Amino acid sequence: MSATEALQGSGEGAARRARVVLVDDHRMFRTGVQAEIGQTDSTGVEVVGEAADVDQAVTVITATRPEVVLLDVHLPGGGGVEVLRRCASLMADPDCPVRFLALSVSDAAEDVIGVIRGGARGYVTKTITGTDLVDAIFRVKEGDAVFSPRLAGFVLDAFANTDAPPVDEDLDRLTQREREVLRLIARGYAYKEIAKQLFISVKTVESHVSAVLRKLQLSNRHELTRWATARRLI
C-alpha cells in the first residue's frame, strides 16, 4: 500500500500539512519520492522544491523556506553536511525553523553522526516505506527526532555519554562522496566497479581518489586501505 492509499484510508492527509524540499542528486529518485508522498490532498505533504547539489539546495531552501528538507547525505558540492552548514541560520529561526531529515542509502555510522552533528533532526534510509516517510516528515516538523531503528544506536553512542568519540579531523577533510569512494577503494573495488555503483564516470572516480590521497597525505591505494582499516571504515 502506498503512502497516498494509506492516508486516504485514515483521513490524516486533510488534517495536517507540511511543505517539503527534496534534495537528492538522482532525478529518478526524486521523481519516485514525489510520486509516493507528494499527493498533497492525500498525504498532507506539499513538495515545494527540488535540488540536485549543494548550491541548488541552499538556493531553493532559502527561497521557499520549507518546514522540512529531505536531505541526501552524498551530494555534489560538499555533501549534506555542507547544506546544513550553509543553512544554519534557517535552522535557528525561532519563528519558522527549517528542519532537516536525512534520507540516504548509506547506513554508515560516520554519515549518520556527521549530519546529526550538523543539525539534522533525523536520519532514515531509503528502504523506508512511503507511509513511514510521511510520518517521519510530520514528526520532524513537530520537532521530534526520527531514526531508522538500527541507526539510533550510532547517535546514542556518539552523544549520550562523555565517552563520545572525538571528531576525526582527517576524515572531516573529505567530502561525503570522497568518503564513499574511500570505503569502496579500501574494500578492493576497481574504479569501473565504483563508477557503476555510484553512477559516476571512471574519470570522476579517479579525481575523487586523487583528492582523497592528497588530503590524507597518502601515496597509493594500499596506504589508503591501511588508513581506512585502522579507523574501521571498511
Residue 11 has a pLDDT of 47
Cell of 201: 564516470
Residue 164 has a pLDDT of 44
> Taking a C-beta distance cutoff of 8 angstroms, is the pair 206, 108 a contact?
no
Give me the mean pLDDT over the 78-102 stretch. 92
pLDDT in tens, 95-149: 899 999 999 988 887 888 888 888 999 999 998 999 999 999 999 999 998 998 7
Which alpha helices (H) appear in the chain, and where do they start and end? 3-10, 27-37, 40-43, 54-64, 79-86, 88-91, 109-118, 130-141, 152-159, 169-172, 176-186, 191-198, 202-216, 221-230
At residue 41, the 3 state secondary structure works out as: helix
Give me the mean pLDDT over the 155-180 stretch. 67
Residue 176 has a pLDDT of 77
Residue 227 has a pLDDT of 87
Chain-wide mean pLDDT for the chain? 85
